[in-house]
Amino acid sequence: MTLQPLNPHDLVGVGLRHPHYSYVLENKPPVGWFEVHSENYFMKGGPALQFLERIRKEYPLSLHGIGLSLGSADGLDKNHLRRLKDLIHQFSPFLVSEHLSWSRINDAYFPDLIPVPYTEETFTLLAQHIDEAQTFLGREILIENPSSYLEYKDSIFSETDFLTSLCQKTGAKILLDINNVYVSAFNHGWDASAYLQAIPAELVGEVHLAGHSLRTFEDGSVLRVDTHSSCVCDEVWALYHQALQQGMRAPTLIEWDEEIPNFELLMQEATKAQGYLQQKRIAYG
Amino acid sequence: MVNLRALQRDFLESYRGDSSFENHIRMNGPSPRNRLSIHHNTIRVGLKKALAITYPLTWELIGEDCANGAAYAFLREQSHLPKTGNLDEWGAAFPDFLEQFPPTQSLAYLSDFARLEWLKHVAYSAKDQTPLSVHAFKDMDPENYAKLRLKLHPSAYLFSSSHPLDQVLGVVNGDVESIELESRKSYALVIRPLQSVHIHWLSEVEFAFFSFLKKGESLIEAIEKIDGKQFQFHETLSFSLQNGLFSEYAFTS
């Protein structure tokens, strides 16, 4: 039996990582859905794919890409797109997402989500690439706002204007990572609350929540780094509350990728997010 | 205004130590160099971790500090960076690098041990196929054996080394106390018929037999090409079926 969300906007999911495969299959935790990194399942066969097939029989699934490099000046990797399409065919995910970033140039791929300058040139290029990806995959994709550590001198648009316009032009949806909003806002002196206010609620198709860490340099300067290695901080919960107040009632994911804790802690975070969603439902009547 | 391709090439150069990319970064609090270092660090640590996941036995064998040092040295060369976003297929060049890397050069067996581990990694994610069992041959007319062409399982890889890799693996697993620096070859068949990857240590003649089968030779052709005196056909066939070495069979015309 495949579970279908009764109300997909009120479901909280958890990022599924290798250490929790067996726990999930044995305990069937009451999670709304799971999200995996698409590239971790690009192989031809083997136990990881077999685990995911078994988990998919019990839960809705979202595929979150980290390697398509939508912002690459070299164009999209057609082989990567083909493999993603095969994976979509195999697992029928209810969401497919990627990032507003680039990772590949001159046949060199960096396992990182590097921001693009927000210029007319990159807007045109990203719109083409998103359009190409959606046409090839035959479905809508979601684009996640990045955690950024640097801004470009050449940027002429704000990140919110750039991302919103891009999604309006291409028909893509926004994957709003609220931890990324908080991290980038701290790193660049933006107003995180104003960032959320600038995002139209109807464009948000998914929300991510995660933890991050602080990096202090020898000169005393500090940057927040999106490490996904801790609980969601209070400030990010407050921003999530604001997002719900703005009507962003989208499937919400708890992400944790480093120093992965036992599954119970992820469930606590998911339950907390569900609590925020239920409060809103009561408030709306 | 710099174009996107030039900016991305500058980032690539920055990974190799050039500072031009910093000129694209808006000054605002933390220095451009510190801001850029977050990305460089994410890339290096991420790729080092990917290698450590692919080569856990090699990490165990030479120790974490040495292995991490080798990984970071490996990553300094642009030619060693991944070419695509599928990191599962990246890292095959690491054993060749270990052969040339001065701190590990004296460990003559190390690069072959890492090559064997790469095959273990590849076998883990190979195409799934149900192995042939002994029942597949139960009703077969023995006269057809001569025409039989057996296909090795898609996850099966053969590897030979001038070094006793079985001993090296024994040391890593804690079964053997030390590696004798004897000049002895070893022959391995790496395979994942179901969930787990296995390494089977073969004799020279068994290795030759499976190598001919892997090339597509029929059973009789493979037997004719090897040293028959050394070869135990029934034992080898029984071992093969018990361990899921074959996935398909056909008859030659």
Residue A264 lies in a domain: yes
pLDDT of residue A283: 52
What pLDDT, on the 0 to 100 scale, is given for residue B137?
80
ipTM: 0.93
Find, among B101, B154, B86, the residue nearest to A86 by Cα: B86
Contacts of A102 in chain B (CB under 8 A): 8
What is the amino acid identity at position B153? H
Q: Which of B45, B73, B106 is the last residue of a domain?
A: B106
CA dihedral A86, A88, A92, A97 (to 10 degrees): 180
**Range in B126-135, B185-194, B226-235 the model is least confident about:** B226-235
* CB < 8 Å to A68, chain B: 85
Question: Minimal Cα distance from B86: which residue of A?
Answer: A39
User: Tell me, what's the pLDDT at B140?
Assistant: 80
Mean pLDDT of B81-99: 97
Domain assignment present for A47: yes
- Among A9, A7, A6, A1, smallest CA distance to A28 is for A1
A2 in any annotated domain? no
Percent of chain B with pLDDT over 90: 82
Residue of A nearest to B50 (CA): A111
Is there a contact between B26 and A117 if contact means CB atoms under 8 Å apart?
no
Co-location of B65 and B125 in the same domain: no
A72–B contact, CB cutoff 8 A: yes
Residue A138 belongs to some domain of the structure: yes
Residues of chain A predicted below pLDDT 70: 1-10, 280-285
Asked if B85 and A41 count as a contact pair (C-beta separation under 8 A), the reply is: no
Looking at the structure, tell me whether residues B59 and B83 fall in a common domain: yes
Q: Collect all residues of chain A within an 8 Å Cβ-Cβ radius of residue B46.
A: 111-112
Tokens of A46: 């083997």
- The pLDDT > 70 percentage for chain B reads 99
Same domain? B92 vs B113: no
A221 belongs to a structural domain = yes
d(CA B201, CA B186): 7
Q: Report the C-alpha dihedral over residues B87, B88, B92, B98, rounded to 10 degrees.
A: 70
d(CA A277, CA B65): 46
Domain's final residue, options B45, B78, B106: B106
Both tokens of A9, joined, read: 């906007």
Out of A46, A71, A121, the one facing B125 most closely (by C-beta) is A46
A61: in domain: yes
Residue type for position B76: R
Whether chain B has a CB inside 8 Å of the CB on A222: the answer is yes
Residue of B nearest to A189 (CA): B28
Residue of A nearest to B2 (CA): A154
Give yes or no for A234 touching B (CB within 8 A): no
Name B106's Cβ contacts closer than 8 Å, sequence gap at least 6. Answer: none
- Biggest CA–CA distance in chain A, Å, is 57
Q: Which residues of B touch A221 (CB under 8 A)?
A: 29-31, 34
Give the whole-angstrom CA distance, residue A245 versus residue A153. 34
Domain count, chain B: 2
One domain for residues B89 and B121? no
Rounded CA gap, B178 and A133, in Å? 54
Q: Give B77→chain A minimum CA distance, Å.
A: 11
Is residue B113 domain-shared with residue B100, that is, in the same domain?
no
Contact B158, B211 (CB under 8 A): yes
- For helices B4-15 and A120-137, angle between their N-to-C axes, nearest 10 degrees: 90
Position B230 scores a pLDDT of: 86
Q: Name the burial class of residue A205, with classes exposed (0-12), middle (13-18) and buried (19+) by CB atoms within 10 angstroms of its CB.
A: buried
Identify whether A3 is part of a domain.
Answer: no
Burial A63-89 (b: 16+ CB within 10 A, else e): bbbbbbbbbbbeebbeebbebbbebbe
Name the pTM for this structure.
0.94
Question: What is the rounded distance in angstroms from the CA atom of residue A119 to the CA atom of residue A124?
Answer: 9
Shared domain for B101 and B3, answered yes or no, is: yes
CB contact under 8 A, A110 and B28: no
Residue for token pair 């493979």: B222
Question: Could you tell me if B16 lies within 8 Å of chain A, comparing CB atoms?
Answer: no
Task: Determine which of A82, A104, A110, A116 to mutate to test the interface with B (most B C-beta atoms within 10 Å).
Answer: A110
What is the spatial distance between Cα A95 and Cα A125, in angstroms, rounded to a whole number? Answer: 23
* Mean pLDDT, rounded, for B98-122: 96
Query: Domain check: are B95 and B116 in the same one?
Result: no
Closest Cα partner for A151 from B36, B20, B6, B8?
B36
Q: Do residues B127 and B54 both lie within one domain?
A: no
Please give the structure tokens belonging to residue A207.
């929300």
Say whether both B99 and B187 belong to one domain: no
- Cα dist from A218 to A215, B34, B229, B247, whole Å: 10, 10, 71, 59
CB atoms within 10 A of CB B24: 21
**B114: CB partners within 8 A, 6+ apart:** B55, B58, B94, B95, B98
From chain B, the residues in CB contact with A83 under 8 A are 86
pLDDT in tens, A150-177: 999 999 999 999 999 999 999 999 999 9
Contact A119, A154 (CB under 8 A): yes
CA distance B157 to B192: 10
Q: With a cut of 90, say whether residue B141 has pLDDT above it.
A: no
> Are B31 and B123 contained in the same domain?
no
Q: Which of A149, A156, A186 to mutate to test the interface with B (most CBs of B within 10 A)?
A: A149
Domain assignment present for A142 = yes
Altogether, the residues listed in chain A come to a count of 285
**Which is nearest to A92 in space by CA: A129, A132, A142, A52?**
A52
Residues B78 and B131 in one domain: no
Q: What is the CATH number of the domain that holds A42?
A: 3.20.20.150
Q: List the domain range (segments joined by +) for residue B72.
A: 1-106
Tell if the CB–CB gap between A39 and B87 is shorter than 8 Å.
yes
Q: Which of B34, B46, B128 sits opposite A46 (nearest CB)?
A: B128
How many domains does chain A divide into? 1
What pLDDT band is residue B115 in, cutting at 50, 70 and 90?
Answer: very high
Q: Which residues of B touch A228 (CB under 8 A)?
A: none
Q: What is the pLDDT of residue A2?
A: 37
Q: How many residues does chain B have?
A: 253
How far does B150 lie from chain A, in Å, by closest CA? 21
* CA proximity to A133, closest of A189, A168, A176, A84: A84
**Residue A107: domain span:** 8-284
A181: buried, middle or exposed (CB in 10 Å: 19+, 13-18, 0-12)? Answer: buried
- Whole-number Å distance between alpha carbons of A52 and B144: 41
Amino acid in position B16: R
Q: Which of B49, B71, B106 is the last residue of a domain?
A: B106
Residues B29 and B81 in one domain: yes
Q: Measure CB to CB from residue A102 to each of B8, B25, B84 and give the nearest one.
A: B8
B252: pLDDT confidence band, cut at 50, 70 and 90? confident
